[in-house]
Chain A
Amino acid sequence: MKETTRLDPERRAGEASVDLPGAADHYVDDRPFDPGEAERLSPEQERYFQASQWRIIWWRFRRHKLAVWSAVVLFLFYLCVPFADPIAPYDPNGRNAEFLYAPPQPVKLFHEGRFVGPFVYPMVSEIDLDTLQWVYKTDVSEPQRLRFFCLGDSYRFWGMIEGRFHLVCPPEGGTFFLLGTDRLGRDVLSGLVHGARISLTVGLVGVAISIGLGMLFGGIAGFFGGIVDSVIMRLIEILRSLPELPLWMALSAALPVTWSPLWIYLGITIILGLLDWPGLARAVRSKLLALREEDYARAAMLMGAPPQRIIRRHLLPGFSSHIIASATLSIPTMILGETALSFLNLGLQRPAISWGVLLNEAQNITVVTIYPWLMAPVIPIIIVVLAFNFLGDGLRDAADPYKN
């Protein structure tokens, strides 16, 4: 109380005659002012408070171990996209007339108790005249060692450079079908590696299209509001109430059969993206509506910032992390969509290879019971879809790093 009395100039003027006992002269400390004096921050706290939003998101994400490992697994899978040719032991469309429906050849290390290194036993094929099936016998007398970093089937790397280098090749004069072969004697493993190219990128391109449309429509609805908003929201509601897959089927059946595989691929990604945007648009709109009311957005508006600047500078950073998280969660849907379409013969077709195209061979249940290895593509599909789900979960938790 004494302090305020002393500082109040009017009251001081009134009581000028009264000299308070013990009142010191005006005192200024010449030490530099430190605003954090009252509350000392530990170095960790300081680091946290000064970190950028993305850095905090990264720290938060790192805590989600499952998501981090999923990211690593996905990265390994995605290595197949640029480097499918050298990774696959065979040309995925190359036919081996002597090895139709050949069973998987396991890789072994020990031959008769002796360490040989990775090798396979050669297969001998003969036709069973009663069942008219190829029967394969393994000849366990002589092991054939696998070759590594070797020259094998030739390919055009990225369609340009001629190459023959492979990570692993079949032994000289032998075969190496780790996952067996299909009805034309094509290596299933090589198909899987090459199929990753289309199966893993279809979701990315589709999501890019979906984000574009979602941001556009969600942004328009959220920013303009009013009648535009209600029309777009109504449209979104209708699109979301439609069963996706039948419409995907109808749309991809409409793709002309004369198109080249590349165009069909693009067509399918567009189809997948076309029906997926409503969810993203809704997320964008609700985030925009919420962020528009934030103090900093209002402040920017009062200071006369144009709408583009407010959106780009103040609103976009606020919800881009959310958009990335929900986009990650919709990638698996697209991967599965393409798989389903190709599986039903409505999507891509040989010579283009995706996991769905490979599964197409396994459509017939009698084939599957006799040659179960044709179902091999199921495994990478499940792993990738699970990994994307975990990654998306982790990203979604990290998208709001200030919570908790």
Chain B
Amino acid sequence: MIAYVLRRLAGMVPTLFIISLLIFFIIELPPGDYLTNQISQLQAQGEAASVAKLEFLRREFALDRPFLERYGVWVGIWPGQHGFDGILQGNWGWSFEFQKPVGDVVSGSLLLTVILNFATILFVYIVSFPIGIYSATRQYSWGDYGFTFLGYLGLAVPNFLLGLILLFLMNEWFGVSVGGLMAPRFMDEPMSFDKLMSILSHLVVPTIVIGTAGTAAMIRRLRANLLDELNRQYVTTARAKGLKERNLVLKYPLRVALNPFIADIGNLIPSLVSGSVIVSVVLNLPTVGPILLGALQSQDQYLAGFILLFVAVLTLIGMLISDLLLAALDPRIRLGQEAPA
């Protein structure tokens, strides 16, 4: 198992390299950069002193260097003005918009982003697992039809619109605002039990909104997998030998159907993280989502780049965890063989 974990971790290094290069390329795509735009603006106004300061910043961030060198300085594998000082060394860059280090801008929202995504994945697991088993073992029952219908609806309603609709309905029916991280009256108060509860209750809606589509997909998958297994002869044999239905399902077919289920959750993580970004914008949650949107609109490239990288790394870690779970369940995987699809 340890060998597998190490192998898996080593495999992430080239992936991260390619992803960071890709992200750096994307954030550099807009013509010009934040500073050149500012400089040309200030020059037009004839403010020489500020121009000098910006020129200094330009050199500081190696913006006048070629692409690969800029990338190297950003990541910290190439010496910049102050030697190796990039993301790898813990210097996440400078936000031109906020005039602060990127670390200071995002620090408050990173934890919440991680919590929200973790809660969503947990939600998908916890909800889809029992419903999937229920739908498969009671195929064509009213409950099965109901969940299938809900599932289709969950797949069709895009999560940011679902967020918007929920915001509207909650306001209309209960007069409560579900947006934001907490009720407005706690905003300036110190941490207390009530405030914590308010934060938790405000996290419930986004978790459901982000997780709905994923949950619907997972229910369908688990149902299909389990139905395939339930028709096998070993199930009939076990039943003929008098095993209780409940023990039978949990002990044999479920275990076989579980592997693709867990592998699928791994594949689902990118879309969950995507969803958390846009739902945060709609529900006004202080995760990295709204900051990313602002950074992209104002071409604050290092801020945007860091957030993109953070979101990508978060996804990779999620997939890693799901892979490790799978390996713990299925010895074939840690021995380097392909799992059956």
Contacts and interface: CB of A to CB of B under 8 A. Distances in A.
Contacts of B168: 365, 368-369, 372, 375
A249 interface: yes
Contacts of B275: 245
A299 interface: no
Q: Is the interface of B mostly helix, strand, loop or mixed?
A: helix
Contacts, number: 115
B300 to A, nearest CB: 11
A382 B271 contact: no
Contacts of A339: 158
Contacts of B299: 253
Contacts of A251: 26, 29
B93 interface: no
Contacts of A249: 277, 292-293, 296
A241 B268 CA distance: 9
A238 B18 contact: yes
A247 B160 CA distance: 17
Nearest to A257: B30
A381 interface: yes
Interface residues of B, number: 49
B224 interface: no
A349 interface: no
A344 B171 CA distance: 22
Interface stretch (B49-57, B71-79, B310-318): B310-318
Interface of B: 15, 18-19, 22-23, 26-27, 29-31, 152-153, 155-158, 160-161, 164-165, 167-168, 171-172, 177, 179, 267, 270-271, 273-275, 277-278, 281-282, 292-293, 296-297, 299, 304, 307-308, 311-312, 315-316, 319
15 contacts: A241-B15, A241-B319, A242-B22, A242-B270, A243-B273, A243-B274, A243-B311, A243-B312, A246-B274, A246-B308, A246-B311, A250-B23, A256-B30, A340-B158, A365-B171
A369 B172 contact: yes
Contacts of A344: 278, 281, 293
A223 to B, nearest CB: 21
B160 A340 contact: yes
Contact of B315 (A243, A254, A363): A243
Q: Chain A, interface size: which category? A: 35 or more
A53 to B, nearest CB: 25
Interface string A70-82: 0000000000000
A362 interface: yes
Contacts of B26: 247, 250-251, 254
**Listed residue (A245, A251, A346) with the most chain B CB atoms within 10 angstroms of its CB:** A245
